[in-house]
Structure 1
Amino acid sequence: SAQEMKHMENLSSLAQGSGPMEFQPSEQEQPWELIMDKKHFRLWRRPIQGSHLYQYRVFGSYTDVTPRQFFNVQLDTEYRKKWDSLVIKLDVIERDVATGSEVIHWVTHFPYPMYSRDYVYVRRYNVDKENNLMVLVSRAVEHPSIPEDPEYVRVRTYESQMVIRPHKTFDENGFDYLLTYSDNPQTVFPRYCVSWMVSSGMPDFLEKLHSAALKAKKMELEVRDYLSKGSDTAPEPCGPTQLEYA
């Protein structure tokens, strides 16, 4: 969206300097709080109105892999089973060839002593060649073929949006990314405990994702190319109504 592009431009320019980086919320929005500030990675959070949960936003940059590699490694479920040790199950349940939407069932370990969590979500990706952006959006849904399993805790509230902007092109090293994320892990722990788990787990996941992209590049591993569809026609933009499972 235009707003996300503006965020990316502001953050990218601010990242070149040493001054503090802040998001300017609208009058209706809660302010963002910076909770982690590293050289190539910054993490904010803000309360979600009417709940005990937070929404998180990450801005980061990598210069040693291409946007295409980073994007493909995120989407390749079979490869993720190899590099993400927390995955118990990760399967594509349904795929819409016309729109590129996929329904995913994901089961993941949670820190002891919590039960493992499972997610059923629809994801949609879009490569915007005109604006030089890549977008991946995920959102929790219900699906008739994946009923709840008493062995896991079903996470019913989950949203994620990743925007990637190449420094040059999709196939040259270097890009910025902006990740906005929220979920309700269905835990009885206080909000500060959940916040700690997310703020420590998210950087760890992103670094594992980065390492997996580097490994795929170095070893020339076969990772599915989600940008090559046999056509120059990009998928239609993904709006909220298109993310609903029907």
Structure 2
Amino acid sequence: MDIGIVKIAEDKDFEKLKHLYDDNNDWRLDYNKPDLSVWTKSVSGISFRMVKIRTRFPDVLPETLYDVLHDPEYRKVWDTHMIESKDIGFFNPNNDIGYYSSKDFVLQRSWLDTGIEQLILNHSVFHKNYPPRKQFVRATSYLTGYIVRPSRNGDGSELGYVSHTDPHGKLPVWKIIAKGTKVHIV
């Protein structure tokens, strides 16, 4: 998916997310504990790295985890960095555009439930009614996605997160990882 281009996500877009998540080639393992691993990857010609996180919730069903990621009201509880979120519009039952601020984003979000795994991906788009705000720096999501699967251990859920986002400011990777991995969403 290309920045600024609004289009319905295709199978190849979800396959790209799964490939980034499942393939560890060219990724550097930066943090590894039994239920949490964090990798980073350099991208040619770009000064910021991609990040990939894999974590496990042994007492949460995949369906519950997926619902939590989609529920805008409950997100206010678990996403301590969210300042504001608004639905802008829907294309179909699996594609929407919304505004999100912790930084400042306008995102097209797409999702797919295969029955075995659930995938959510987004990228930045432009919307005339949501220009960059003066008190924020408009960040760019080239690709950000979640993968929810049954745990490899057979109990609970596995949550995968891949992000290739330019915050357009000075925020060290270690700070993003520290903030992102300490939040309990369920």
Query: So what's the TM-score if we normalise by structure 2?
Result: 0.82
The 5 Å alignment of 1:193-232 reads 194-205=172-183, 208-209=184-185, 213=186
Task: Name structure 1 gaps, 5 residues minimum.
Answer: 9-21, 26-30, 109-116, 214-246
User: CA separation of 1:4/1:148 partners in 2, compared to 1, >3 Å: closer, same or farther?
Assistant: closer
Q: Aligned match of 2:96 in 90, 98, 102? A: 102
Q: Partners in 1 of 2:40 and 2:53 — Cα distance?
A: 9
CA contact (8 A) 2:146 2:159 kept: yes
1:56 matched residue in structure 2: 51
Runs of 4+ in 1 over 3 A off after TM superposition: 5-8
Q: Partners in 1 of 2:172 and 2:147 — Cα distance?
A: 25
The 5 Å alignment of 1:71-110 reads 71-96=66-91, 98-108=92-102
1:135 corresponds to 2:119: yes
CA contact (8 A) 1:67 1:173 kept: no
User: CA separation of 1:136/1:35 partners in 2, compared to 1, >3 Å: closer, same or farther?
Assistant: same
Alignment deviations for residues 67-118 of structure 1 (CA, whole Å, 9 cap, x no partner): 111111111111112333322111111112x34211111111xxxxxxxx21
* AA at the equivalent of 1:154: R
Q: Determine helix, strand or coil for the equivalent of 2:162.
A: strand
2:64 matched residue in structure 1: 69
* AA at the equivalent of 2:18: E
2:166 matched residue in structure 1: 184
Q: Partners in 2 of 1:2 and 1:180 — Cα distance?
A: 11
Q: Aligned match of 1:147 in 131, 140, 157? A: 131
CA contact (8 A) 2:61 2:156 kept: yes
Q: Partners in 2 of 1:39 and 1:70 — Cα distance?
A: 19
- 1:51 to partner: Cα distance: 1.2
Q: Determine helix, strand or coil for the equivalent of 1:92.
A: strand
CA contact (8 A) 2:17 2:162 kept: no
Q: Determine helix, strand or coil for the equivalent of 1:74.
A: helix
* AA at the equivalent of 1:124: S
* AA at the equivalent of 1:103: I
2:147 matched residue in structure 1: 163
* AA at the equivalent of 1:152: F
1:228 matched residue in structure 2: none
Aligned residues: 171
CA contact (8 A) 1:44 1:56 kept: yes
Same amino acid, percent of matched pairs: 19
**Bigger helix fraction:** 1
User: CA separation of 1:126/1:3 partners in 2, compared to 1, >3 Å: closer, same or farther?
Assistant: closer
- 1:156 to partner: Cα distance: 2.6
CA contact (8 A) 1:162 1:179 kept: yes
1:175 corresponds to 2:157: yes
- 1:136 to partner: Cα distance: 0.7
1:119 corresponds to 2:105: yes
| Greater relative CO, 1 or 2 (CA 8 Å, sep 6+) | 2
Of structures 1 and 2, the larger Rg is shown by 1
User: CA separation of 1:48/1:3 partners in 2, compared to 1, >3 Å: closer, same or farther?
Assistant: closer
**Bigger strand fraction:** 2
- 1:158 to partner: Cα distance: 3.9
Q: Partners in 2 of 1:186 and 1:3 — Cα distance?
A: 23
- 1:150 to partner: Cα distance: 0.9
